[in-house]
Structure 1
Amino acid sequence: MTDSPPAPAGRRPSRLYGPLLAFLITSGAFCAAWVARGTFPFGDTGRAVNDQANQYVPFHRALWDLVHGQAAGDLLFTWRGGFGQQFLSDYYTYLGNPFSWLAVLVPRAHVDLAVFALTPVTMGTAAALMTVYLGKLQPGPWWQRGVLGACYGLCGWALSDASYIPMWLWGLVALPLLGIAVEWCLEGRRWPGAALFVALAWYGNFYTAMMATMAACVLLGIRLATRDMTGPERLRALWRASTAAVTGVLLTLPLLLPSFLSSGAAQPTKAAAFDPVRLDVFLAGMLPATHLWGGRPRLYVASLGLILAGSFVFNTAIARKTRLVWAAATLLVAASFQFPPTQYLWHGLAVPNGNPYREAFVFSGMVVILAWLALANRPRPLHLALTAGLLVAATFALRHTDDFGGWTWPAVLGGGAVSLLALLLLSLAGKHRALVPVAAVLMVGVVFAESTAAAANADARRARERWAQPAVTSNQSITDHFEAVRGVDGWPAFRTDSGAPQTSYNDALALRAEGPQYYSSYLPQATYQALEPLGYGYKNDGRTFFGADNPVLDALFSIGARVRPGAAPNSWTASRLPAPPLVTVRSQPFTSPNPAASVYARQENALGATVYQVPRVTRGGTATEQAYGARCTPGSEAYWYSPALYGTAISASTRHRLEDRMTGVLKLGPVPASGRVDVTVRTKSRGHAPDHPIGCLDRTKLDAQIAHLTATGATSVRAGGHTIEAALPRGATGTAVFAMTDIPGWHCSAPLRGFHGLVAMDIPSDGGTLSCTFTPKGLTPGLAAATLALLALASAAARSLATALRRRRRA
């Protein structure tokens, strides 16, 4: 196989036809599926699935704020969410797809629509690049490459697994991008371009780029084995490829290294061991238009690609060695998905958390490559018919597999028949040229129609799963909520909590608030260890935190405004709260006299004063209807905390929803004149409330402590992008406490000391101004490595340019 010869100067624009066709088929089919289902923006059905609503839309809104100068923070750090968290790793992970920057070009109210558009744009780009890569493997008609490029862009992994995950979709782009880089290394040219392509692949998303890079190693091995090269040429190609890969990865190290270290410092999760699916389920995932439930493999491409790929091994126009190597490599890649050690290797030596087949696009890409090599070498009609028959037989044999897809038979029989007809017409085009446009229309049409049905089917079936219920990301209520938060903004004099109910797990980012709400794979263990003991609710093993309407916590974290639902439907009202500044002073250590194991005592220890009455609780009832009773001072405010219970808490004729650890400290209401606090919990969980679930707050004492902290705290606070500076009253002594968690990366003007998980330091004798700066761990060495890589890249580019100029002068 050889590379395509250079096109004459007058025909160079034709090089764009194939990629453009692939882009239009891919993005058009995906959008057509939206139209068919009446999905937003083509209907009222919600579009945002799972983390698309909870992470990707809020993070893109945060990017919009950052670019437009309206963020509380910068690229390194955000003050919005989690009471201040690193942002660089989140940017790299959730916003690395270069098309994410499209979100900053639209009005903020339409950022969610831009996020949805990332999917067809990225898939279309992947299809276009695959079209280019196929042409480098074997020359052939641009429209045929474009159709098969679209088969790749519309593979099962893209439609069923990653269609709502913009950063993962960049892996779909990375595979052909790295394939092109491999071909340049084999040709002995464009080394700087190859290194930049590696960097671009890793810039978009390191997780799927790692999988694409492993796939590129497979492609390199195949090409070294099948290409006509001498031994020294192979060694030089291997050297160019390895150095380009290292240089490209080093260019991304300012993002990659801090993210790696942030991951190590993140709150750990309980990932299950890899359990391969049954062989019949695995094979069913290769059938066109099949969406399997849950974490099952989605390996299919359109029937046209499957029929052509199946005919590859029969095509005698292709050298036997080439057929053997490509077919064996493709089978080994598929087998590696089922073998735990190699599966861990695909996932970076980590247990996959969620769908364990996240590298499935690699197999689909290799199937499309086989399809193109077969098509470019004119497969025989008999071989095509045989392959189509085998596809029907396989579908029949797998028809009883768990959740066998309802659209599989139409795709196999209908799409397969049209695909076979188009290929047969194409085989006759040598004698009847008029058949070429007919075959072209049929091939484009069948891929478009079959993929549209597959995408709509994947959306419809996925929406039936509880975790994937589409969520609303823009409406009048969300707009009013946003405006209510903006109306009481006081940062950095105080924080604003966006309140509950939440629209997303990252409401603080989405609504420009500064509360505890935050959801990130990088949420530090230090934040979990600081917030969980204080009574904040959490989820995802502690990587998602929720707010708590509790005045003691508000005082601890300088929350001076809160937004709550209004009386009218979908309305929101904001209220100001008394709050000390972000930096306060504790003159001496404090230990609560209340039971040390209670959440209320832990809050008091951090606050520095006794403000709760924690009574002895009587227990009764049954396992499903538990009764709790206590006595408190009349007029105080009763609070409840039971992180092991899921159900309903009933107190004084009011009902409160309990969602175990997601529900933090909960306000029950004022203690009546009788002093009796009774709580009935209706639950199906086996847990019970802790020993001291009830605490009664004395607001007078709390107000006095807030006034004291305000009087002795910072006289002014200035917060920069990733810095904070506080001026203390003259003569202040003791410990300065910053209302932010002590996460890795803080460097302050005085040595830090432990204080209930918050940033704190002893006040120097000269008092004055204290300051802290946040620098992500790994950023400095990452920048140094990237600088060296950039110098190497610039040197190679300059050398290449000088060589080209000398050749031109000689010519």
Structure 2
Amino acid sequence: METREDRGKLNRSTFVLEKDRRFTWNRKSLSIVAFLFPFLVLASVYAVCQTFPFGQRHILTVDLFHQYAPFLQLMRDKILSGGSFFYSLTSGLGVSFYALFAYYLASPLNLILLLLPASFLTEGIFLITLIKVGLMGFTFFQFLQVSYKRKGVLAVAFSTFYALSGYTIAYSWNIMWLDTLILLPVVVLALVRLMRDGKWLLFPISVTLLIVTNYYSAFFACIFVVLYFPILLIRCTEGEPFRRKLLVTGKVIALVALSVGLSAILLYPTFLSLALTSASGDAFPKTFELIGKPLTYLGQMFPFLQPTVRSGAPNLYCGLPVVFLLPVYFLSTRIRLREKILNGVLLLFLFLSFEINFLNFLWHGMHYPNQLPYRYSFVVIFLLLTITYDGLRSTREFRPTELGLLGVCLMFVAPVVIALDSEIKTAPWTSWGTVIFILLYTIIFSSFRAQSYKRRIQVNLLLTVMLLEVTLSTFSGIYHIGENEFYGSREGYSSGRVVASIREAVRQTKLMDEDKSFYRIEVKPHKTSNDPALYGLNGLSLFASSAPKAPVTFFKNAGYKNNGINSYQYRGATLFCDSLFRIKYVIARDTLPYEDNERTITLGNSHVTVYKNDNVFPLGFVAKPSLADYKSYYGNPFETQSDLADAMMGETLHLFSELKAERPDDRDVHLSTSSNSKYRFTRPDGVSDWVIELEWKAERSGPHYLNLDISSFDVEKASVEVNGNPITLDKKVKWISEIGSLVEGDDVKLFIQPSESVDSGSFNVHLASLDMISLTHLKDFTHERALSVIDMKEDQLYGSISCPEDGVLFFSFPYDPGWVVKVDGKQVDIETVDDAFLAIPVSAGEHKVFMYFRPVGYGIGLRITCVAAGVFFLLIMVLLIRKRRARKRAEEKFFFFDDDHDTEMKEDEEADDQVEEQSSSATAEP
């Protein structure tokens, strides 16, 4: 019969079985969740925002729209077509693709685009972004697990805060920076393993990947790791002798040097190419400036803010628990005082870097960033989350009243800071949303010491609230970016009928072109600042941080759309410059608002029309020696272009002729001029709705162009009328506007309507006509002295030329020191035209010309990388040999003890047999 005791034993046994069957998270499953949660949260938020395939929008905004996506398409085209990775003829008349690749395209995840057709470019970028954000959560989770050796589900929440921080949401469109946020936790994790466990292999691999995937943002991460190193060294070698600490430091320095060597093939040529960009000329700040915004930094840690994109305070949001747990960490008695002091000093230094202009300048690589301030703020987020995760366990040290008082203070401080600081960009729900979540965290943290609640319930409740907060904050941030920066329609970008028509027009134009020689093609009106890269054209437009500064300056002086830093666009072109730069075809998306009788229509459908320019010059030709002395200047683009034509011919052509403006007699606007181009105006008394008007009359037939600069005052609208047909002008236009082919006697009228707040001001205007006879004469001159191209690839050219006299062989390629030119087998020095274009001095006679492109420093970088790779291989071989020897010694030791054990067992068995025999004998005796 079963007793009461037996039943008790059975019940206890049953209870144990039920407990064993309860689901528990292990490290592998939590790692998957750490990846999936930020991935799915961001995907869900974009789905709500109608991103394809959940709608018809894409996630491309700001520079992802204008730069990164077109360059990703360019890389995809190069890989699939086998193009050169050194140089590209697609963008900017020709540009170092190696420099583009190093800054924008080195992430291995970009290879995902090869799996998708070109029409799904935006969706491929969407998928890459989601994967990168998921990997950020995954790697930060691994870092927390390895560094603190804890098995807890709350690490998933902290990793999600890292992956969906305010920095990530604000700059997720800077898709190449996200690789650094993925790899920073890996580098620090590898550093911990190296110092604490002696495992070194992951460290050089992770540092090399960090540098190679994006050297720019890696610079911020590397500075942070250097600053964080002493803290890690003290924590990971606690109690170790000084000699051990010194040995670890030496290993780290050696492995960092090895990593730099492994990345030299990309890093060294890129470093040299930066000398050509606008970023290389920034001067160190001359005066000390203190911004003085400590409350702003606190406010930037609150959720539901509008992300800082173009200007404003640093993006520091990484979860409200950080604000709550930061004082807990520094007041905790569990955490060593020395560690708290070092972390506090580092955190203070990082905040002072926001405050002090000297430090901010140094953090940005001795450069003043063009918008996008405080680009290194992600390292502050990393440190904040690391500190507060360590302080999480210390909440049980404090009484509920103490934590409750902290929460009440935060509930009062948060709305006050938000209300008082205008620098903080809030939403209508920011204040009350922040207070509600502070209240929830106060209740949960205060209950940690209560014995009436199970620990599992408290943790799960905290996890739920943390994940809810980051989800809502992510939605708020993406919503604000969509409102402020705009997420456009995927139709017309890389997919749709217009895009398909452009690609088909490019294909058919290539088949129809008669001479089959190299030419360029452009699109108007533009879609992005890099349309040639987006659509696979050989064009002029370029917007890239790695763009050389000299061509930008030339195109600015020549009247093209530019930003004066790293961009020039196919807006402001004249037929002369189209001919000089061999832009043979123009694809018009829409019907042109003006007549173009100088180009002929070759193709067209209901979406696009293709215009052909029959006046293009050769790719290379011998100009007069005077071209080497040509210098462009800013002010009058028509004179700048005319001077260039004169320098090429060595004589005065009068290529452009300016027209004199006339004022209508019935206008009350006070308008005066001291020259034929600069005008000053004053608002008429008692008039609110007023317009400035100028008139011209065409003096000869041909293409006419208007250059208007009204950037010094606010304008409601500006337009020009040609024989009554209106052409709308950009309100901030400073470049040339084409107004079409005019006939002698045609009327041109300019209308400028200033804003209501403008009472007076000034503007510059030039109207000029192009002399087609002079252009034809110039075309004939260049073709008579043309380079005959025998063979041409993207990064090399071979041809022959017959020079009637000494001159300058001009190429319509931007100058780059990576070009190597040989004339008749001998390398020659390269000259430049206006520091912007490639030119070679040649003598009279027949010559063979061969030129090729290799990034400056590529050979040296390659050799350094090969040496470093050899050293790395030897280190791995030594590691494997040591492991093999250690395993062999372990096996020998095992067999040694096993043999001893067998011998002892055998001796015991023999002794037992003897005893049994003796016993048997004794028993048998009578």
What's the TM-score once normalised by structure 1's chain length? Answer: 0.88
Note if 1:720 corresponds to 2:720: no
- Aligned-residue offset at 1:634: 3.3
Quick check: 2:147–2:189 contact (8 Å CA) kept in 1? no
Q: Classify 1:214/1:431 alpha carbon distance in 2 versus 1 (closer, same or farther; 3 Å).
A: farther
Q: Is the 8 A contact 1:583 1:717 kept in 2?
A: no
Change (3 A) 1:635 1:201: same
Supply the distance in 2 between the matched residues of 1:79 and 1:797 (Cα, whole angstroms).
Answer: 41
Given the alignment, which residue of 689, 694, 697 partners 2:767?
A: 694
Which residue in the other structure is 2:230 paired with? Answer: 221
Could you tell me how far 1:643 is from its partner in structure 2?
A: 4.9
Amino acid in the other structure paired with 1:22: A
Following the alignment from structure 2 to structure 1, what is the Cα–Cα distance between the partners of residues 480 and 794?
43
Query: 2: CA distance between counterparts of 1:633 and 1:121?
Result: 62
Question: Which shows bigger deviation, 665-674 or 357-366?
Answer: 665-674
Shift of 1:563: 0.5
SS of 1:749's equivalent? strand
CA distance in 1 between partners of 2:875 and 2:726 (Å): 70
265-274 or 647-656, which moves further after superposition? 265-274
What is aligned with 2:708? 642
Partner-residue secondary structure (3-state), 1:767: strand
Following TM superposition, by how much is the alpha carbon of 1:441 offset from its aligned partner in structure 2, in angstroms?
4.5
Structure 1 residues 641 and 443, CA, compared in 2 at 3 Å: closer, same or farther? same
Report the alpha carbon displacement of residue 701 of structure 1 after superposing the two structures with TM.
Answer: 4.3
Distance in 1 between the 2:258 and 2:25 partners? 32
Q: How far 1:427 moved relative to its partner?
A: 6.0
1:296 aligns with 2:369: no
After TM superposition, list the pairs within 5 Å mapping 1:681-760 onto structure 2. 686-689=761-764, 693-710=766-783, 712-716=785-789, 718-728=791-801, 734-750=807-823, 751=828, 752-756=830-834, 757-760=836-839
Q: Are 2:683 and 1:612 aligned?
A: no
Matched residue, 1:487? 508
Match of 2:244 among 197, 212, 233: 233
Moved more, 625-634 or 698-707: 625-634
Partners of 1:656 and 1:443 in 2: CA distance: 61
Q: Which residue pairs with 2:896 in the alignment?
A: none
Residues 100 and 386 (structure 1), Cα distance of their counterparts in 2 relative to 1, 3 Å cut: farther
Q: CA deviation at 1:221?
A: 1.1
What do residues 31-84 of structure 1 show as CA deviations (whole Å, max 9, x unaligned)? 22212333444334452211010001101101110111165xx22111011100
Contact 2:638–2:656 (8 Å) recurs in 1:
no
* Map of 1:366 onto structure 2: 383
Whole-Å Cα distance in 1 between the matches of residues 234 and 875 of structure 2?
28
Change beyond 3 A, Cα 1:69–1:201 = same
2:412 is aligned with 1:393: yes
Of 677-686 and 372-381, more deviation after overlay is shown by 677-686
User: 3-state SS of the aligned residue for 1:716?
Assistant: strand
What is the distance in 1 between the residues matched to 2:559 and 2:345? 56
> Residues 323 and 275 from structure 1, CA distance in 2 versus in 1: closer, same or farther, beyond 3 angstroms?
closer
Give how far 1:278 is off. 2.4
Question: What letter is aligned with 2:657?
Answer: V
1:601 and 2:637 correspond: no
Report the counterpart of residue 446 of structure 1 in structure 2. Answer: 465
Match of 1:672 among 721, 736, 743: 743
Residue 215 to residue 730, structure 1, CA distance change in 2 (3 Å): closer
Deviation at 1:275, TM superposition (A): 6.8
Contact 1:494 1:581 in 2 (8 A): no
Aligned to 2:65: 53
Aligned to 1:582: 619
**What letter matches 1:642 in structure 2?**
L
Whether the 8 Å CA contact 1:600–1:614 is kept in 2: the answer is: no
Q: Secondary structure at the match of 2:838?
A: strand
Q: Does 1:355 align with 2:372?
A: yes
Contact 1:266–1:522 (CA<8 Å) still a contact in 2? yes
Deviates more, 1:489-498 or 1:337-346: 489-498
Aligned to 1:3: none
Could you tell which deviates more after superposition, 518-527 or 649-658? 649-658
Q: How does 1:384-463 map to 2 (within 5 A)?
A: 384-400=403-419, 401-402=421-422, 403-420=425-442, 436=456, 438-439=457-458, 441-463=460-482
- Deviation of the 1:284 alpha carbon: 0.6
Paired position in structure 2 for 1:802: 881
**Structure 2 CA distance for partners of 1:618 and 1:378, relative to 1, 3 Å:** closer
Corresponding residue number in structure 1 for 2:154: 144
The reply to whether residue 515 of structure 1 matches residue 556 of structure 2 is no
Aligned partner (choices 846, 850, 855) of residue 771 of structure 1: 850
User: Counterpart amino acid of 2:222?
Assistant: T
Q: Residue 105 of structure 1 is aligned with which of 84, 98, 115?
A: 115
> After alignment, is 33-42 or 197-206 more displaced?
33-42
* SS of residue paired to 1:379: helix
3-state SS of paired residue (2:499): helix
| CA 1:451–1:478: 2 relative to 1, 3 Å | farther
Which residue identity lines up with residue 281 of structure 1 in the other structure?
T
Q: Structure 1 residues 95, 281: CA separation in 2 closer, same or farther (over 3 Å shift)?
A: same
In structure 1, give the amino acid aligned to 2:158: L
SS in 2 for 1:737: strand
Correspondence for 2:209: 200
Q: Deviations over 1:297-333 (max 9, x none)?
A: 1212122344344422343333343334334433333
Distance 1:542 1:808, change over 3 A: closer
Matched AA of 2:411: V
| Whole-angstrom distance in 2 between the partners of 1:118 and 1:277 | 38
How far 1:617 moved relative to its partner? Answer: 2.2
- Letter of the 2:707 counterpart: Y
Asked if 2 retains the 8 angstrom alpha-carbon contact of 1:138 and 1:376, the reply is no
Measured after TM superposition, the shift of residue 271 of structure 1 is 9.7
Contact residue 636 and residue 671 of structure 1 kept, 8 A: yes
Return the alpha-carbon distance in structure 2 between the equivalents of residues 194 and 548 of structure 1.
Answer: 51
Mapped partners of 1:502, 1:275: distance in 2: 42
Distance 1:307 1:212, change over 3 A: same
| Aligned residues with identical type, % of pairs | 18
Tell me the number of residue pairs that the alignment of Structure 1 and Structure 2 aligns. 791
Once the 2 structures are TM-superposed, how far is the Cα of residue 26 of structure 1 from its aligned partner?
A: 1.4
Q: In 1, are the aligned partners of 2:522 and 2:583 still within 8 Å (CA)?
A: no
Note the C-alpha offset of 1:439: 4.5
Q: Structure 1's 453 and 59: CA in aligned 2 closer, same or farther, altered over 3 A? A: same
Tell me how far apart the structure 2 counterparts of residues 399 and 213 of structure 1 sit (CA, whole Å).
Answer: 33
* Range with greater deviation from structure 2 (133-142 or 11-20): 11-20
Code of the aligned partner of 2:737: L
- In the TM superposition, residue 199 of structure 1 has moved relative to its aligned partner by 0.8
**Most deviating of 150-159 and 746-755:** 746-755
Equivalent residue runs for 1:212-291 within 5 Å: 212-227=221-236, 228=238, 229-267=240-278, 276=291, 278-291=293-306
Instruction: Give the corresponding residue for 2:4.
Output: none
Q: 1:729-786: CA deviations, max 9, x gaps?
A: 6979744322212233221114333445432224455624312212222222222222
Query: Are the aligned partners of 1:499 and 1:547 in contact in 2 as well (CA < 8 Å)?
Result: no
SS of corresponding position for 2:177:
helix
Deviation at 1:384, TM superposition (A): 4.6
On the 8 A contact 2:301/2:319 being kept in 1, the answer is: no
How far the C-alpha of 1:499 sits from its partner, in A, is: 2.1
Q: Secondary structure at the match of 2:704?
A: strand
> 1:112-151, aligned counterparts within 5 Å?
112-151=122-161
Shift of 1:270: 8.0
**Alignment partners' CA distance in 2, 1:791 and 1:533:** 50
Are 1:17 and 2:95 counterparts?
no
Task: Give the C-alpha shift of residue 679 in structure 1.
Answer: 4.7
User: How far, CA to CA, are the matches of 1:603 and 1:730 in structure 2?
Assistant: 20
Please report how far the alpha carbon of residue 492 of structure 1 lies from its aligned counterpart in structure 2 after TM superposition: 7.1
- Which residue identity does 1:276 align to in structure 2? I
Measure, in 2, the Cα distance between the counterparts of 1:488 and 1:468.
34
Structure 1 residue matching 2:153: 3-state secondary structure: helix
Give the TM-score taking structure 2 as reference length: 0.78
1:785/1:619 CA distance change after superposition, 3 Å? farther
Q: Which structure exhibits the higher relative contact order, with contacts defined as CA atoms closer than 8 Å and separated by 6 or more residues?
A: 1
Output the CA distance in 2 between the equivalents of 1:46 and 1:277: 39
Q: In structure 1, what residue type is equivalent to 2:315?
A: R
SS of the aligned residue for 2:799 comes to: strand
State the partner residue of 1:6.
Answer: none
Q: Distance in 2 between matches of 1:189 and 1:798?
A: 17
1:68 aligns with 2:80: yes
- Range moving further from structure 2, 51-60 or 272-281: 272-281
- Alpha-carbon shift at residue 506 of structure 1 (Å): 0.5
